[in-house]
Amino acid sequence: MQWTVRLEARTSAGEVKTTELVTFSRPVVVSTLAEIGLVLSETKALLARLPAGMLCGQVAAYAALCRVCPECGVLQPLKDRRTRRLQTLFGTVEVEAPGFQMCRCRQPVPMAKVTVSPVGALLTARCTPELERVQAELGAHLVSGRGAHLGYPAAGFAGKPGERAQPHPCGRPTDRGGRPASR
Ligand SMILES: [Zn+2]
């Protein structure tokens, strides 16, 4: 038996594009409990491809929209096909960031052949604001020792991942020497 997960994108103009994300196979006749349902590695593959597929589709639609000259409406010539890497909460995604030769009607100097990359201009950072925020929150939790429940040791605690630092009797997390950690 086979299952295929597809991501269907529908533009505001009603155009539909379907991308195949993953395919899972299972025998119909199973002999063990382990052969039933999704396993962790398959779930991870699905969760990695879903946001990447959505991100690439959105960015491609944005680039296609920006390729149309806002002044005269003609399609600006494709100059090059660059890619950019964007770190997201769900992993690093490589997106297409094509360069377009600015339409002649908007060239600052005739025959100047200025190239523009709308996607490159949109991606002003290497990681998304959401990833930055979560990393900052996780860092704050680790420093305060409250990240131990997430499977990370407190900063300065020389234990194994997942091993909780013993709190000081005063209730505050401890440092490597068992003293209350500074806040
Ligand atoms: Zn134009």
pLDDT tens profile 58-70 = 999 999 999 999 9
In terms of C-beta density within 10 A (0-12 exposed, 13-18 middle, 19 or more buried), how is residue 76 classed?
buried
pLDDT band at 110 (very low <50, low <70, confident <90, very high): confident
Residues ≥6 apart with Cβ < 8 Å to 36: 26, 30
Centre of ligand 1 from the C-alpha of residue 113, in Å: 13
Centre of ligand 1 from the C-alpha of residue 116, in Å: 13
DSSP state, residue 144: H
Averaged pLDDT, 10-37: 89
Centre of ligand 1 from the C-alpha of residue 120, in Å: 20
pLDDT of residue 149: 57
Centre of ligand 1 from the C-alpha of residue 126, in Å: 31
Question: Residue 43 CA to chain centroid, in angstroms?
Answer: 16
Q: Are 55 and 86 in contact (CB under 8 A)?
A: yes
Q: Give the angle subtended at the CA of 41 by the CAs of 24 and 155, to the nearest 5°.
A: 160
Q: Which tokens go with 52?
A: 């990447």
Centre of ligand 1 from the C-alpha of residue 14, in Å: 26
Question: Residue 152 CA to chain centroid, in angstroms?
Answer: 22
pLDDT band at 146 (very low <50, low <70, confident <90, very high): low
Centre of ligand 1 from the C-alpha of residue 54, in Å: 30
Assess whether pLDDT exceeds 60 at residue 176. no
Assess whether pLDDT exceeds 60 at residue 54. yes
Centre of ligand 1 from the C-alpha of residue 102, in Å: 8
Identity of residue 92: T
pTM for the whole thing?
0.69
Long-range contacts of 74-77 (CB under 8 A, 24+ apart): 74/103, 76/100, 76/101, 76/102, 76/103, 76/116, 77/101
